[in-house]
Structures are given as structure tokens and as C-alpha cells.
Structure 1
Amino acid sequence: MTDAPPRRDDTDGRRQTTAPRFFDDIAGLRGVAVLLVVLFHAHVPFVTGGFIGVDVFFVISGFLITRGLIREYEKNQTISFRGFYARRARRIIPAAALVIVVSIIGAALTMPLLKVFKQAIDLLAAAAQLANWHFIAQNADYLAGAMDGSLAAHFWSLSIEEQLYFVWPLTIFAAAALVAKTPLRRWLPMRMSVGIVVGLVSAASLFAAIWLTPRDPAAAYMATYSRAWQFGVGGLLAVVAPALIGRGRTAKLNTPIALVIGWLGLAGLLYAAIAINAQTPYPGTAALLPTGAAALIIASGQMAGTGLPFVGRVLDTPPLRFLGRVSYAWYLWHWPAIVLFEEATGITSWPTLLAVSVVALGIATASTMLFEEPIIGNTELRRNASASTSVGVTGIVVGLVATMSVGVATVKVASQDTVANASLSYQSVFGVENTEMSGPVVPNPFQAYDDRPEPNACLVPVGDRAPSQSCVFGPDDGAPVVLFGDSHAEQWVESIREIGSQHGWRIHQFTKAACPAQNLPQQRGLPDPFVKQDCLDWRRDALEQIVALKPKIIFVSSLSTYVPKRETAEQAWNDTLTTLRLTGAQLVYIADTPYPGFQIADCMSGAMDDWNKCDFAFDDYPRFEPILEMPKGRGKDRIITLSVNDLLCEGNTCFPARNKILFYRDESHLTATAAEVLEPALVKQLDSAGFDYRAG
């Protein structure tokens, strides 16, 4: 992505002697790749797989970098690591640092404090060349849109390239020296040795990508080791390039071969951009198509002569070569432009976002010609490796300092909005008229995300099938009580434990993130966690344990927006309730709380002067809770239903806070503080239902 094709007058300090168009097709291919990415990010219809442009960049970079390293070793019998890293430093880091600094300034001018802080953390990781691992640690699924609001989302691929640039020359040197400096040189050519090593690394990386994709989508998509194989495919092309070129000049047979594979490659690339989408398990085996297509296009260009209508002639057109020239800068600038525009205006229509991307192309052109290329072409920097390295280090430091400074400043400002000695009682929050609609809240929006039930390990993470610790609370001889459901059930665990402590309950917690209590079936083509095998296995095992436990009381709750069809929700609840009724326990259902659909804490961090800025409508999202409409039954078949929604909303309008208490820690869940405050409301409704706390 970051390595432009060698210039005709400068390839690592050596003059090019090949035909003028030898790498112009690669420049055009870079133009196609960046155009696909931009169209995808602008949500242009039908370009659902435009993200495969990044795969193309990986192949191109692997080809160019490996080619340069092999040629250098063939000429000098060594590789200048100092020179290699110096070239990367001046070519890549300054332009990225400029975008990082402008992005964090843009965030500070357009976003609420908490969002600015989050952007600073993301951009800090980008400046440190660790964006991919930062997002993996957050389990952020790129294709599911988990990173769409981050100004640093596109830096994941740049970080992978930077990490590969660090280890790749060492790998090539080791493979070359293995035969060139040992008796193996008698039997094994240097290029073959490099090809074997690169091939083994690529095969291991491809296996990791395929294995990880269904198990850990975030890691599969963004981990360096699961993407190295695409870099390696380009490297293998570089190994065999002399053979391709030689035959292309001497054998007429290669003319039709080059023609066919070139057009096949371009057709495969365009088909992948249209046929692949966010629901495709990726990279998995699906990435073989765009990766192989890019390799075919490059191979065709290496084989082709001049004057023939190869794909290279299409890629060699001035518009595509221009996009290839500015591709790095356009990739850097277009995404922050889209994110900041959406934040400032709320407009998300694809024609508008495409227009914003075109404006970003203008910025990228200026950045390339006035900033990036003058640094790359500077005579002193090209001559002095230490100076080039210093430029790169300076860029990293500037990015780190800018993001850390903004992050620290936001925390200092936010710390001023803290409630001192806030009352946490139900009476002080809901027993008086709600007259306060501005001012500090508790928890502070910066603290809200961590204001969650303890121990959090009892909420089984996505991908796991069991908690990492015992999740049973209360006296050994207490009446067995169960809490069952997803994270919307888990948000009530401390309230239920408080009730249980007054009645001698022994509470068994069965909760898993993004895995509903209702028995939703597995559905092909959906990437959502609730249809994955780990969720199905956990729910089956949890229900078996609950039946064996024979509890007296079962509390159930679940997110109500999993599926858009009432019939599916009804059948799923019927399946679960049939199993739970086998226990003979009293069933208590806690109605799903209002679903904001946006980060309430982020919004509130910029709305301390008017909390109503963060109001939302109760019916913004379709909710299906057929359990609320089921016949209540009698005796042990009776289902008691509880709801606090009339306390969180008035009519269809729901509030983010009330009388100094912040209700939500994110886009969906109550803060532990709010759940604690609402506990008396649950008790009041249980009392009204004539609930028997001793045995259900």
C-alpha cells in the first residue's frame, strides 16, 4: 500500500533500464485498488467487496519489496538494512503523521469529549504502528462496522505493512545467505532458497487465516500473521519474475498466455469487489480470489512486451496511473474526511460521501505533491540514511505527542464534570420530579464504560463456551436461583444478588455476551455472534445444567432486537420456555430495557449543558418480546414480568440520565449504578405480583 512502483530514475539509488511501462501497470493497479477501497467506504451500491483493494496492496508491496531485496543481494551479496529502513521511514511515516495530527485536531473540533479521547487512543496506536493489534484487542470486527467511527480504522493495514517491513528483509537475507554462504549453494540456487522460505511462511500464514476466520474474525482480518501470506504471494512473484520476463521477450507462446491471465486477473478482481460482501467470512478462503487475481495481473505485466492490448495497457492509462501516484495519500485522507463529515453533519448518503471522497482526493493530491514527494525525493535524505531515519522517527514522535496531548487534555476537562457525594437511592432519583436536565452525572461519561457488574468474568465472552471462574453466589444451603440470558440479563445480576442476600438465595449465573436466552437457530450467511456455534453450544449446555439444578426461581432477560421477524422470535422463546418449565421453577422475565443504538456516554460527554441532546425514541428499533404477550398461566406455569421502562422513558421519549444518574454505559446496557438504583423497582413489582421469595 505504501510502496510506489520504482521510479524510472530511482530504484533504491540505481537507474532503471527496463522499458518505460514496465511498472506503470502496477501503478495503475494501485489506482484500481485504492478506488475500490474508497467506493466501499463511501457505501457506493454494488461495490460491497471494495475492501479487497487492501489485499491487492499487500500483493503489490510484497512483489516490489521482495524484488528490490533480491536484486540488492544479487548485486552486493548482502542487504543494507539501514538503507532499507531509512527508505521506508521517509516514504511512509511523514505522510501518515500529518494525517494523524490533522485527524486529532479535527476530532477535537467536531466531537464530544469522550469521543475525542477514544479517537486519541486509536490514533496513538496508529502512530505507534500498532493499530491492527489495538483493534484486535478490542475484538473490533472491521466488516461488521465495529470500527466505522474511528478516524484510525484504516491504519490497521498500514500497521501490518510496517510490521512486515521490519521482518521481511531479515527473512529474505536469511533465506539468501542460507545457500550463498554455505555449501548448499552447490545444489540450491539463491532465488530458489528464497522462494522456499517465502512459500513456507505464506503457507503457514494462509492456514492461520483460514483456521481463524470462523473462530476469531477480528484477528483473522487484522493480524499480521494471518495476512503475511498475501505479502508472500507478491514475494513469490518477485522470485520468479526473471523467468517470466525472459520468456516474455523470447517466446511467442507467452503473448496469448499473458493476454489471458491478465484479463482473467482483472475480471476476477472486479468480480470479487462485487460478489464479496461484509457477510462473507473473510479472509478465509474468500481472499484467495482477489489475491490470486492481483498476482495474475502483475504476472501478465511481467510477461508482456510492448505494443499489445494487454491489461497493462488499460492500467497504464493516465487517470489510473495518477490514482496510483496519489493512492497512499488518498487512502490516508479519505477515511478521516468521511468520518469527520458524518460527525459534523449526520449525512450518510453514498452520493454525498463519494463527493467528500473526491474532495479528499484533492487534499491527497496536494499532500503528495507538496509534502510527500518532496521528502521522498530530497537529495540529502536519499544520500543520508541517518537523516531519513530521523525524519521517520520525528514523524512517529509528533504523532504520539499530538495524540497523547489531546487525550490528556480531554481527561482533565472531563474530570471537572464530576458529581460529589451523589445520592444513589431510588427515592432521590425517581421519587422526585425530574427537574435537572443538565450538569455532571454519575458515573462520569469517561467512567461509564467500566461501570458494569462484577465479576465481569461471569459474562462469557463471544467465542467462549464457559466462564473462567465459578459464577455461583450465596450460602451453600440457600434456595437455588438462576439468572439466565445475555448481557441484558447480566446487567441485573447485582440487583438480583442484593435481593437474594435478603432471602438466602444461592444464585447460579448463566450469562453470555451476544447470546440470547431464546433458542434462535443457526442461520447461514449471518456473521452475528448469536448464530455462531459457540453461542448454540453454550445455550444448550446452560439449559442442561439449569434443568439438572432444579432451581426454585429463574430470572430471564434478553436483548429484544436480535431478529426482525416476530414468528422467529416467538418460536425461539417457546423452545426455551418449554425447557425451563421442566424445572418446575417460578419464571420471572425482566423486560428488555430501551435500546439507544448509539454511545450514550459519548453523547453525554458533549451534552452536560443539555441532557436532552441525547434523548432517543423507544421505538427507534423493532423490538420483539413475545414473552410479554404470552398467557401468564397459573401456579408454576405463571410467568411474572417486570419492567422499568416507564422509569427510563416518558411515552416514546427515553432519557440518558435523570437527577444526576447516567443510565447507560454504552449503546445498549445500563450502568451498574443505574441498575442498583432501580433494584427497589424490581422488588416493588415482585411484591405486587405476590411473589414468594422463599421458594418462588
Structure 2
Amino acid sequence: MNHQRLPGLDLLRALAILWVMAYHLVSHGPAFGPILGPLVDLGWMGVDLFFVLSGFLVGGQVLAARASRDGVDWGGYLLRRGLRVLPAYLAVLALYLWLPGWRESPGMQPAWQFLGFSANLFPDYFRNRAFSHAWSLCVEEHFYLLLPLVVVVLSRRPSLRKSALCVLALLLAGIALRAWAWRTEVAPYLHVSEGEDWFFLRYVEHVYNPTWARLDGLLAGATLAAIRIHRPAWWDWMMARAWAFLGTGVLVVAAAARLFGGFVSEAGALIGFPILSIGLAALLVGMASPRILPGRAELPGVRLLATLAFSLYLTHKAVFHLVEQVAGARLAQSSLLALACHGGAALAVAALLYLAVERPGLRLRERLARLRAQPAMPSRKPGDAW
């Protein structure tokens, strides 16, 4: 895959993090009005957009390396993934563990679940909600570990039919597992009233968060990457129809939101996520094309937001909580002022995390990658001349 920066994908990443942040900000007071409000209520979809982007970009890197003469350096792949995620993630986890005042909620899952990326598999949101947004990082980490296995299996006697059947099998498995979770863990408690959010939390724990139920977006992104690498003629055809894909993506996402609401229903749980992922994948196709956003075109602030997206995602909920604790009463009178203060504080903390932790980790990753790429110097034997 061509690793040149695609401004359209930067724009999607920037929109995804703003969408997620706005969704979480509503509970801290700022209102977005009758026009933006319904869109903000769907801000949880920003995580699904991140999944599609990750599947496309990481899947594309692996597939391109697999198709090359040298093949994939799996050790280097795991090293790159680790240094991309772990430095900033562990720094923020340390804040959550050692500074209870940093937490947006008092209760927190055991440290081993976050260290082992299993917090989404054993959640207890009735009591422990601090750093709960780490669930999506767990899903991505599991995808990074599953991807090599799938690529190796499909690379043995590769065929379009075999790959299509694999994608279909994973898609149907996700639907089946969500159906089972809904009917056994959620539906029996539809009429139980033990607090307003009791039913919703069961849905989050058993349908929304587990990895096996949330691979649709990553699968959609990886499928697009496979088309780009192994079916370039198809990809060129798609790029030539970027506006059609972009419009289709908007319509499909809007239809999914209209049909399934917050997806907290049996139909939403079963087929809502695949439909949403297809719509977001169509958006990605449109925005990846230079017909939408030429290679050198950049909107002001987009690259900054895209660069800080990971640090923003890790820290924004805690920052919103701290701002509310310090100045909530003063900001209650003005949504615009509250928006500016919460957003400004989140950007400042994310920039600090990026500069102090995330960027050094990325630089270390590049240095180690260059060292791994250098040919080993032959060992010197006695009597050898230099």
C-alpha cells in the first residue's frame, strides 16, 4: 500500500474524535441545540469510524508487506503496534490508578484487566466506570493479534472465494454472538426496573463491548484494504466514483441511525452494526479519493486533530470531569463558554501527552524499525582480514 498521507482520512479521523468528544461532553452541561443535538447523540458512532479506519490502515500495511518479496516481519509488526499504543495508554492508565481525583467515576476495574486488554470482556459498569472508554482499545488490540493468524491462513492457496467466505463467516459469527447475548443476557431483563440505566448497562456489557461482537468495523476496513492491495482495478473503479460512495455512505449511516435509533434493540444489536460499518466504509472510500480532497489539500486544524486523536481519546473524559469539578458552576450559564473551556482543556492535556509520551514512543518505533531493517554484520572469525 502507498503510505502517503491521505488528507481525506485525516479529516475522517478528526471528525471521529470530535464526534466522540461531543457525545461525552453533553453529560457535562453544554448543549448543542436542535440542529446539532441529534447528530451529537449519535457520537458513539465515532468509535465505529475509528474501527473502520484502523482496519483499513493497519490491515493495508500487513497485506502490502505480505504481498511483497520480503513478506511480513511479524516481530516488527507487533513491536510497531505496541509502541504505537502502549506508551500513551500506560501513562494515562497510571494516572487513573494512582490519582483517584483524575477519574471521571469513582469505581474502576482491576489494573490487570487494563494491562491485559480484557476490560471489555469482564466489565462491571454497575460499579466500575472509570476509564470505561478503554473498551475500544481492547477490541483493537485483539484485532491486531487476530489479523496475523487470518492473513497467514488466507495466504495459503489464496483465492477470492476463500477470502470472501472468511469475511462472511466472521460477519455472521458476530451477528450470531450478538443474538445469543441479547436473548440470554439482555432480553430476559427488559422489564426489570433497578434504576434508569440498568437495562442499558447490561446491553453495553454483553452486546456493545465484547470483542467478538464488535469486529464489524475493523472487518469492513480490512476488506477495503484487501481490495486496494489485491484488486487494484476494483479500487481504481471505486476511486473514480468517490462522490457516489460518499453520498451512499451518508445515506446508509443516516438510515441505520433512523432504523435502529441508539441500536439498543434486538434488530439494532443483530444487524445494525454491520449496516453501520458498511456505511462508514463507503464514507472512507469517498474520502480516500483525491477527487474529494486532493493530495495536497488540507483544512485548517485537521492534521492537528488527527495527530492528537489518540491522546484526546485517552484523556478527554477525565479532563471534562476535572473542568466540571473546578468551574462547572461558572460555566453552567453559557454553553458556548463551557464548550470552549472543556475543548481547550482537552486539547491542552492531549498535546502535553502527545509531546511528552506519544511522540517519543513513535520516534523510538521508527528508530527500532530502521535498526531491524539493516542487514546484520557478519561475525568476524579468527584470522579474517578487515
TM-score by length of 2: 0.75
1:224 equivalenced with 2:211 (yes/no): yes
1:263 alignment partner in structure 2:
247
Deviation at 1:376?
0.8
Query: Is 2:83–2:361's contact at 8 Å kept on the other side of the alignment?
Result: yes
2:140 alignment partner in structure 1:
161
Paired with 1:290 and 1:279, the residues of 2 have a C-alpha distance of 10
Query: Is 2:228–2:234's contact at 8 Å kept on the other side of the alignment?
Result: no
Q: Deviations over 1:659-695 (max 9, x none)?
A: xxxxxxxxxxxxxxxxxxxxxxxxxxxxxxxxxxxxx
Deviation at 1:153?
0.9
Cα 1:247–1:170 change in 2 (3 A) is closer
1:376 equivalenced with 2:355 (yes/no): no
Deviation at 1:96?
0.6
1:236 alignment partner in structure 2:
223
2:7 alignment partner in structure 1:
24
1:41 alignment partner in structure 2:
24
2:89 alignment partner in structure 1:
96
Deviation at 1:81?
1.8
Q: Which amino acid in structure 1 is aligned with residue 367 of structure 2?
A: E
Where does 1:465-476 land on structure 2 (aligned, <5 Å)? none
Where does 1:603-642 land on structure 2 (aligned, <5 Å)? none
Within the candidate set 252, 258, 280, 1:294 is matched to 280
1:130 alignment partner in structure 2:
118
Cα 1:254–1:277 change in 2 (3 A) is closer
Q: Which amino acid in structure 2 is aligned with residue 230 of structure 1?
A: G
2:316 alignment partner in structure 1:
334
Deviation at 1:296?
0.3
Paired with 2:259 and 2:314, the residues of 1 have a C-alpha distance of 26
Q: Deviations over 1:563-587 (max 9, x none)?
A: xxxxxxxxxxxxxxxxxxxxxxxxx
Q: Deviations over 1:163-220 (max 9, x none)?
A: 22112111211211x21xxxxxxxx53x654443233223312332344345432221
Cα 1:173–1:97 change in 2 (3 A) is same
Cα 1:215–1:384 change in 2 (3 A) is farther
Q: Deviations over 1:628-662 (max 9, x none)?
A: xxxxxxxxxxxxxxxxxxxxxxxxxxxxxxxxxxx
Q: Which amino acid in structure 2 is aligned with residue 126 of structure 1?
A: F
Within the candidate set 166, 169, 172, 1:203 is matched to 172
Q: Deviations over 1:91-148 (max 9, x none)?
A: 101001111122334415789xxx75x33x355522331110231xx2x3xxxxx58x
Where does 1:7-18 land on structure 2 (aligned, <5 Å)? 16=2
Cα 1:358–1:175 change in 2 (3 A) is same
Deviation at 1:344?
5.9
Paired with 1:297 and 1:62, the residues of 2 have a C-alpha distance of 14
Within the candidate set 55, 78, 90, 1:85 is matched to 78
Deviation at 1:289?
4.1
Q: Which amino acid in structure 1 is aligned with residue 181 of structure 2?
A: L
Gaps of 5+ in 1: 1-10, 141-145, 180-187, 386-696
Query: Is 2:221–2:281's contact at 8 Å kept on the other side of the alignment?
Result: yes
Cα 1:259–1:279 change in 2 (3 A) is closer
Cα 1:365–1:204 change in 2 (3 A) is same
Identity of aligned residues (%): 20
Paired with 1:100 and 1:63, the residues of 2 have a C-alpha distance of 27
State which structure, 1 or 2, has the greater radius of gyration over its C-alpha atoms.
Answer: 1
Cα 1:75–1:134 change in 2 (3 A) is same
Higher relative contact order (CA 8 A, sep 6+): 2
Paired with 2:258 and 2:19, the residues of 1 have a C-alpha distance of 10
Paired with 1:82 and 1:97, the residues of 2 have a C-alpha distance of 21
Q: Secondary structure at the match of 2:68?
A: helix
Query: Is 2:102–2:322's contact at 8 Å kept on the other side of the alignment?
Result: no
Q: Deviations over 1:369-399 (max 9, x none)?
A: 34212221234333357xxxxxxxxxxxxxx
Q: Which amino acid in structure 1 is aligned with residue 129 of structure 2?
A: S
Paired with 1:35 and 1:276, the residues of 2 have a C-alpha distance of 23
2:199 alignment partner in structure 1:
none
Cα 1:72–1:248 change in 2 (3 A) is closer
**Which structure features the higher share of strand residues?**
1
Q: Which amino acid in structure 2 is aligned with residue 330 of structure 1?
A: L
Within the candidate set 167, 173, 181, 1:212 is matched to 181
Paired with 2:326 and 2:60, the residues of 1 have a C-alpha distance of 45
Paired with 1:248 and 1:236, the residues of 2 have a C-alpha distance of 11
Query: Is 1:198–1:235's contact at 8 Å kept on the other side of the alignment?
Result: no
Paired with 1:197 and 1:311, the residues of 2 have a C-alpha distance of 33
Paired with 1:227 and 1:363, the residues of 2 have a C-alpha distance of 29
Within the candidate set 310, 314, 319, 2:301 is matched to 319
Query: Is 1:110–1:343's contact at 8 Å kept on the other side of the alignment?
Result: no
Q: Which amino acid in structure 1 is aligned with residue 304 of structure 2?
A: F
Report the RMSD for the aligned CA atoms in angstroms: 3.4
Q: Secondary structure at the match of 1:260?
A: helix
Deviation at 1:83?
1.0
Paired with 2:46 and 2:141, the residues of 1 have a C-alpha distance of 18
Where does 1:187-198 land on structure 2 (aligned, <5 Å)? 188-189=158-159, 193-198=162-167
Paired with 1:343 and 1:241, the residues of 2 have a C-alpha distance of 48
Q: Deviations over 1:29-79 (max 9, x none)?
A: 111111111000011533111001111111111112221111111114643
Q: Secondary structure at the match of 2:122?
A: helix
Query: Is 1:107–1:340's contact at 8 Å kept on the other side of the alignment?
Result: no
2:59 alignment partner in structure 1:
66
Across the two proteins, how many residue pairs are aligned to each other? Answer: 337
Paired with 1:279 and 1:69, the residues of 2 have a C-alpha distance of 32
Q: Secondary structure at the match of 1:381?
A: helix
Paired with 1:384 and 1:92, the residues of 2 have a C-alpha distance of 20
Paired with 2:258 and 2:302, the residues of 1 have a C-alpha distance of 20
Within the candidate set 335, 341, 348, 1:362 is matched to 348
Gaps of 5+ in 2: 32-36, 186-202, 373-386
Deviation at 1:287?
2.4
Q: Secondary structure at the match of 1:333?
A: helix
**Which structure features the higher share of helix residues?**
2
Deviation at 1:222?
0.7
Paired with 1:42 and 1:92, the residues of 2 have a C-alpha distance of 24
Q: Deviations over 1:263-306 (max 9, x none)?
A: 3324554676798655733543222343122100222245x3x4
Deviation at 1:221?
0.4
Cα 1:38–1:246 change in 2 (3 A) is same
Cα 1:273–1:229 change in 2 (3 A) is closer
Paired with 2:230 and 2:151, the residues of 1 have a C-alpha distance of 19
